[in-house]
A and B are shown apart, each in its own frame.
Chain A
């Protein structure tokens, strides 16, 4: 390259549309097309054959050796070089045409109808036509009109067409629908929507007027998408819209009706496009047909023939059918009397336009289809294409002009003298001419072609626009940043990336070098010396120095691919595009399967995101699909790797803890700076290169190895993973420590809660915690739900503890925390008894309480936190349960005491078994007597008291002891054996007895009353008066006797 010239020339040489470049530059950059197809009928994408060269087609059709009527359609995707080919045909034909051949070339210019008319008016053949009216109309049509005014005219013209449609179009809609459509189109908000820059009216306007920003290959038509009504649009228009417009808008919002209605409206309106364009341009539908008829007639008179080149038929949008009508008319046969000259037409069109807008009768009359495939260049063709542009911009205009002036023979093709890039790649073209590819390498051209061009853009236009122009501008304006002109992320070889990252600390420089070595070189992590020259990634080291890259050292070795970057010795040294292949580096030791292209693309995309992440952007791991899903999966895979790689038990971490972490939303590893802030993992990978290496290794593990290390290059990824886990193991072990968040391990509340449970369930009835051992912890649960005597608060708490399986979960925690799995299989489990003993000691020591500081924080692992929450839920209810238990016990004991001891000061606390046995006997007497006395008292079997005397006495003692306990937990344990259950029936018995005593009183009173006057019977004074005296006398006589 000669940058001093290129700086001046680049703008004029780099013209994406051939028609705007100078003739000299055009020819100097032209690369012969060798793969043209000649389908017999229209095919959107004809089957590939060996192809035809442009020269062959030129000779066969353009030169038209048989002098016949021709209508040749040159078609292909946008940007494939249709214009270029037609222009090349025209340029070449200008030199080769017979004397009586008139060549009319309608360039695409700005691809508008006005531009096309202007070209026609400038043609001498048109100036001489007889029909002056047409000429005048065309002259008026090119007069500039204010943009908004013209757009308004176009819009209202469509409304007018719909409003006045009498149903004579091919596609019709109902009157109701038509009226709705008119109302809809007249709505102010709808109008604004349809006139938006990417809307249909801008597209149509762009085909009429000049200087618009719309893509030139855009077709002037309505599409179904134009009529999709969003919620926003509906909300905006609904206030001002009349009912008809609203109804249609609503219909167009509904998903199911969407495609059908919108497509129908679009198709319906498209019928009016030609009429509206013609009317707005001020021309008549038949003008173009007539003008070409006139031209042909004039030429016929002059005994001349016409060869017409139309770069793009869409230049005639609105009148294209009229034009085609004129072109298909043959000069011979039934038209001979018309006196028309022979016409040979070459019309360029996109595949889509040809398919949809050429009427069938036009397609049938096309004498030859010429198809330009998208990928028109082979590998060498691509190099030559780029090389010619680079060469042309490095040559002064005069040199080019001089070459053209001398008929532009290939042998005379001028080649510039390289001032930059002498050691870079070259491409050899016809006649052995070597064109320097600076600032490209062959590899970079292939890579950029694969990576920089979007799908469907693999055409010359985009090679120029997206590769050559930005690259050259980049190297000319800022060599220090080269290459920085593309925004895709190339597939990175992790070893290369790693090595560069380790040696180049400057992040930007490191990234630039990696980018260059990957896209310009072979992207492998190897360097080698050949002929005394050092190559890194197959790129000469001096090239790297020339671009100011920092010095790095790579692994000794070489890619199996041919070197790139070496000065071409024979001009034919080829390389394979390494795009998408870099990951499969040529490590001689690499084993495993090769990744698919899809997998490579997926991985590369994800690694690209990692690059953005390390550059400061957020990383998205929120989705399960797409790149976000790939990154998310990598995060999960790293978590799994961490979980399964560390021997937690050996590190003193309970497997239960790990299992809980596994089940929780708190991950072992999360990435720094995520798009959606979720709970940070135990270890947060910083947004830096090393993290990206690791993540990318796991991405490949999944995508390439399908969750295995079986893929090419996996050894290094495995190395990254294992070295990382080795280095960070202690961090994880420290991070999963279950005392970090709450200050104590969750096993403490779990054990305390379990002890609480066992106490409350009566499974542990010890008076102190000292008796609670591992044996108690692992004792089988009592399955019974027998009736107990506890208070409702006590029962409610037990029920609460068992709700939703919380107890089972907690018990599992308490029991499994100390499990130690033996061996890798894990079927044999032993108990970490010392640790369990310590935990039980702690529970005993702190009397089932936890430090209050543990309540201030929350454990990040939900399952662990549940142990604390379970304990806290229980602990906060214990006081109440004990209090109610006390009240119940007090109440029962008060009843018992009052009934046994009355309101006396008698010592109440000594009720022994013998007392109760005596009591039982007395009670038996009572009821026996009642029975004997025939009182209506239900007999109470005092054997109940007799048989349970020991139990009652013991329970009463236990209850008294419990009531004396001031400490809640001591009281809890005292009540654990449920003495109330025993004293309650005794209290109830006493209550019955008391009640029966009252009944006896009442019954006796009643019966005594029934006896009537019994005074006489019981008047002992009168009845036994004398005996009383006598006995008293006896006492007096004997009592004082001294013996």
Chain B
């Protein structure tokens, strides 16, 4: 019975399209507003997609498959919004709602992935005193991307800050034991007992003894 169903459906759609056109004609401003909204939403989605794409490829952000599918559906729905010839406000609102939902999802997933993505931040904090101005700059850029904004600029700063931090840390030739020590120092938790040979050698080699303070435990 697909035949008759198709036949009827096509008429229903045609009637609806007609209704839209008729309504469009009757309320042109409203349509223009819808058009504008449509463009805005599409642009936002596009920017969002690009950011996601950037984050995935440049920051290693592995968002979920559900999120991907929801994105693809959204794209389709946005295509469908104007399939009657003019953007349908209702469909658009529906698509926009879906988009908001996707954004919230991605935010959560970004937030979950951020520590991993921004793992160098703690090291920077540990060695902050080594070059406070510079490292603070890096930290600012990294911290600015802590919340997902969908801004590629923010992501690029993050990417650059992380890259520079990597270079800096690489130059300090620190192993994990050194990083752990420095981290404790930064947290005020370092003990004299932590000063083993490897740590003392690394401090002495760089003449950092005067810049590291070990206090009494409370």
Contacts and interface: CB of A to CB of B under 8 A. Distances in A.
A1031 B25 contact: no
B21 A901 contact: no
Contact of A1018 (B21, B52, B68): B21
A1004 B18 contact: yes
A922 interface: yes
A52 interface: no
B114 interface: no
A901 B56 CA distance: 49
Interface string A910-948: 010001001100110110011011010000000000000
B78 interface: yes
Nearest to A904: B3
B42 A923 contact: no
A1017 B4 contact: no
A1039 B15 contact: no
A1043 B45 contact: no
A1030 interface: yes
B217 interface: no
B75 A1031 contact: yes
Interface stretch (B5-13, B129-137, B192-200): B5-13
Nearest to B86: A1017
Contacts of B52: 1037-1038
Contact of A1034 (B1, B5, B49, B64): B49
A926 B12 contact: yes
B72 interface: yes
Contact of B2 (A906, A926, A1043): A906
A1024 B35 CA distance: 8
B62 interface: yes
B65 interface: yes
Contacts of B100: none
A926 B9 CA distance: 8
Contacts of A1007: 18, 22
Given A933-B19, A1004-B14, A1024-B38, A1041 B56 contact: yes
Contact of B53 (A904, A906, A1017, A1038): A1038
Nearest to B78: A1031
A932 B16 CA distance: 9
Contacts of A1041: 53, 56, 68
B8 A1033 contact: no
Contacts of A1018: 21, 84-86
Contacts of A906: 1-3
Contacts of A1023: 35, 82, 86
Interface in A1010-1043: 1011-1012, 1014, 1017-1020, 1023-1024, 1026-1028, 1030-1031, 1033-1035, 1037-1039, 1041, 1043
B8 A997 contact: yes
A925 B12 contact: yes
B49 A930 contact: no
Contacts of B2: 906
B87 interface: yes
Contacts of A1030: 42-43, 45-46
Given A933-B18, A1034-B46, A1017 B25 contact: yes
A1007 B23 CA distance: 12
B39 interface: yes
A997 B10 CA distance: 10
Task: From A915, A1004, A1017, A1019, name the one whose CB has the most chain B CB atoms within 10 angstroms.
Answer: A1017
Contacts of A143: none
B86 A935 contact: no
B191 interface: no
Given A900-B4, A997-B8, A1037 B68 contact: no
B96 interface: no
B30 to A, nearest CB: 12
A590 B170 CA distance: 162
B101 interface: no
B71 interface: yes
A915 B56 contact: no
B11 A997 contact: yes
A1024 B15 contact: no
Contacts of B53: 1037-1038, 1041
Interface string B68-97: 100110010011001011110000000000
A900 B71 contact: no
B47 to A, nearest CB: 9
Interface residues of B, number: 47
A915 B1 contact: yes
A681 to B, nearest CB: 71
Contact of A932 (B15, B46, B63): B15
Given A929-B15, A1004-B15, A1035-B75, A900 B1 contact: yes
Contact of B85 (A902, A925, A1020): A1020
A547 interface: no
B39 A1026 contact: yes
Contacts of B19: 932-933
Contact of A919 (B5, B50, B82, B85): B5
Nearest to B14: A1004
B15 A923 contact: no
Interface size band for A: 35 or more
A899 interface: yes
Contacts of B63: 1043
Contacts of B42: 1024, 1026-1027, 1030-1031
B75 A1000 contact: no
A1017 B85 contact: yes
A1001 interface: yes
A1043 B75 CA distance: 18
Nearest to B47: A1030
A1007 B4 CA distance: 24
B31 interface: yes
A935 B15 contact: yes
A1043 B60 CA distance: 11
Contacts of B84: 1018
A1027 B72 CA distance: 15
A1008 interface: yes
Contact of B3 (A900, A918, A929): A900
A929 B13 CA distance: 9
A1011 B22 contact: yes
A1018 B82 CA distance: 9
Interface string B133-170: 00000000000000000000000000000000000000
Contact of B21 (A922, A990, A1014, A1027): A1014
A901 B75 contact: no
Given A1007-B22, A1038-B72, A923 B8 contact: yes
Contacts of B43: 1027, 1030
B147 to A, nearest CB: 22
30 contacts: A900-B1, A900-B4, A901-B3, A902-B4, A915-B1, A925-B8, A929-B16, A933-B19, A993-B4, A993-B8, A997-B7, A1000-B11, A1001-B11, A1007-B18, A1008-B18, A1011-B25, A1017-B31, A1018-B85, A1018-B86, A1023-B86, A1024-B42, A1024-B87, A1027-B38, A1027-B42, A1028-B79, A1034-B71, A1037-B50, A1037-B53, A1041-B56, A1043-B64
Interface of A: 899-902, 904, 906, 911, 915, 918-919, 922-923, 925-926, 929-930, 932-933, 935, 990, 993, 997, 1000-1001, 1004, 1007-1008, 1011-1012, 1014, 1017-1020, 1023-1024, 1026-1028, 1030-1031, 1033-1035, 1037-1039, 1041, 1043
When A and B form their complex, which 10 residue pairs have the shortest distance between CB atoms, in order from nearest? Answer: A1018-B85, A902-B3, A1027-B42, A1030-B46, A933-B15, A1043-B65, A1034-B49, A1037-B53, A929-B15, A1000-B11
Interface of B: 1-5, 7-9, 11-12, 14-16, 18-19, 21-22, 24-25, 31, 35, 38-39, 42-43, 45-46, 49-50, 52-53, 56, 62-65, 68, 71-72, 75, 78-79, 82, 84-87
Given A1011-B25, A1018-B84, 8 more contacts: A918-B1, A925-B12, A1001-B14, A1014-B21, A1014-B25, A1017-B31, A1026-B39, A1041-B68
